[in-house]
Structure 1
Amino acid sequence: MTDRRCVVFDLDGVLVMSEHLWEQGWKAMSADHGYTWLAEDTKACQGKSVPEWAHYLSERTGMDEHAAADGVIEMVGEAYDRGEVSLIDGALELVQAAATRVPIALASSAPRTIIDRVMATTPVGEYFRATVSSAEVAAGKPAPDVYQEAVARLGAISEGSYAVEDSSNGIRAAAAAGLTVLGIEHPLYPVDRDASDRAAGVFHSLEDVTAVLMSFLDER
């Protein structure tokens, strides 16, 4: 029987530590336009596509949506230019291990420019057979669209496949797409209870995720 399983990874907070950069960008852009960005705003926007969080920002600041998106993306890009973003410890080993067993893809809320940059400048890039930005599908996370598209581009099926996610909206999206989700939790951005309940487990290190994922993949 042909194995049509796959593993789909999120980017920010799973492979690279950059969640805080997006939050900093949202805060800075909001402050420049008289709005105080709060933790609940970050939670609402994490996992959303660029058009979705730009609309959210526009509603609260009165900014043009395109200007809001361009401004925040430029701030994040400048952080990349300064070398402030690197792979999370254990990310390369996790990707390598998964790719030796099944095809892997990326399903990220980051814009295409950031995705392509990470794929081109870090050693994980060579292992991915497909990458999808949520801006390229109808709806961002927590809708399942970006995960469904990633699975489809691999020619895989959701049943028996896995996702690695860190955000509550991302876990919800992957679970809604029918994947078994392994969560990774960061102290600054705890996973909501309802989201953690949809995951097979929420772990505190990528090493733990790797061990559990390999045990699942090796079951058949």
Structure 2
Amino acid sequence: MKKYILFDHDGVLVDTEFWYYRAGERALADIGVTLDKDQYLRDMAQGLGTWAQARAAGLDERTIDGRRGVRDDYYQRYLRTEAIEIEGVVEALTELSPHVRMAIVTTAKRVDFDIIHENRHVRQFMEFVLTREDYGLAKPHPEPYLTGLRLFGATREETLVVEDSSRGLNSAVAAGIDCAIVHNDFTKAQDFSRASHRIDTLAELMNII
């Protein structure tokens, strides 16, 4: 039986994965560089992202740093204007809350996380939130989830990670924690062979814990 759940955030609790990609795509398109989606997903699985292709296209670090700010502006605009709700999330968390302690471990930056949750009801279920500023090494390194275990004072065996990407899955596996992969159209083609569970919605977590 599981007593703790560590949730990834983007693609699991809110539908933001595509919009992060789209923001980077626009930031590079503004200067004539194409961001290939399939390569982006392969890079993300290795803990890389938008700028791997930018470097491959010959952009220098100063230009890339400038594009980061543009990407962030686009992304925050999308967060405020696009429909990023995932149906049934709050209902699933409500059902889970009497049975498990929950927290979020995300690679999102704190500023983006706070924008997303200005008017949402997810944080009320969480004992803590770890954003990218709260640990040294990002997924697929195990540090983010090991940090979550430490804050809970939990063992690996009594904890479940919920993810939607192979990068997050690899982080959980490296930390020695069972991982349930929830379906996400944006990441569905990634390798999830090491997942302990595959689910279509968070409502199915009640059958796992």
TM-score in terms of structure 1 length: 0.82
Q: Secondary structure at 2:11's aligned position in 1?
A: coil
Sequence identity, in percent?
A: 21
Once the two structures are superposed, residues 134-189 of structure 1 have per-residue CA deviations (whole angstroms, 9 ceiling, x without a partner) of: 34322211111111112222222222210111111111111211221110122332
Q: 1:200 aligns with which of 185, 193, 196?
A: 196
Contact 2:41 2:187 in 1 (8 A): no
Task: Report 1:25-40 matches (<5 A).
Answer: 25-38=23-36, 39-40=38-39
Contact 1:108 1:132 in 2 (8 A): yes
Aligned structure 1 segments of 4 or more residues deviating by more than 4 angstroms = none
Contact 1:171 1:181 in 2 (8 A): yes
2:52 aligned partner: 56
**Residues 70 and 35 of structure 1: is their aligned pair in 2 closer, same or farther, counting only changes over 3 Å?**
same
Deviation at 1:54, TM superposition (A): 6.4
Task: Report 1:142-181 matches (<5 A).
Answer: 142-181=140-179
Task: Report 1:92-111 matches (<5 A).
Answer: 92-111=90-109
Structure 1 CA distance for aligned equivalents of residues 74 and 66 of structure 2: 12
Deviation at 1:41, TM superposition (A): 1.9
**Residues 122 and 46 of structure 1: is their aligned pair in 2 closer, same or farther, counting only changes over 3 Å?**
farther
2:208 aligned partner: 216
**Residues 118 and 31 of structure 1: is their aligned pair in 2 closer, same or farther, counting only changes over 3 Å?**
closer
1:6 aligned partner: 4
Q: 1:20 aligns with which of 18, 21, 27?
A: 18
Greater share of residues in helix:
1
TM-score in terms of structure 2 length: 0.86
1:115 aligned partner: 113
Question: Which consecutive residues of structure 2, in runs of 5 or more, have no partner in the other structure?
Answer: none
Task: Report 1:181-200 matches (<5 A).
Answer: 181-193=179-191, 196-200=192-196
CA RMSD of aligned residues (A): 2.4
**How many residues matched?**
205
